[in-house]
Amino acid sequence: MLTQLARSSEARKIELTDVSMTVTPRFEQTGAIGPDTVASRLLDVETALHIESAATTQEIAKLVATAERMCFLLDVIRQPHEVNSSTSLNGKPLVG
């Protein structure tokens, strides 16, 4: 998000004097490893963006909205995506 915010502010010529972001994910893990019932999932993610700038409220609001749309991580969290995985063992595909 901060990278996209920097790119957007540069393109729009909006000076940001200070920017920080706190990202707090909440996870849940159930089951146990021994009986192979363990499962983990992301419950939610909270973000807090702090910006210092002489720009107007409207300029910053538009800038943040653009950066959020450009952010790959926010897209992954907000939208379901297909995941394709493969594993190899000693150079050969692991099947099983």
Q: What is the pLDDT of residues 43-80, one digit of tens each?
A: 999 999 999 999 999 999 999 999 999 999 999 989 98
What confidence score (pLDDT) does residue 96 get? 73
pTM of the model: 0.79
Answer positive or negative: Cα dihedral of 30, 32, 33, 38: negative
As a whole number, the mean pLDDT across the chain is 95
Structural domains of the chain sorted by starting position, each given as residue range(s) with its CATH number in brackets:
2-81 (3.30.300.20)
Q: What is the pLDDT of residues 26-45, one digit of tens each?
A: 999 999 999 999 999 999 99
CB contact set of 5 (below 8 Å; sequence gap of 6+): 16, 19, 49, 63, 64, 67
**26 vs 55: CA distance, rounded Å:** 33
Can you read off the two tokens belonging to residue 63? 């800038």
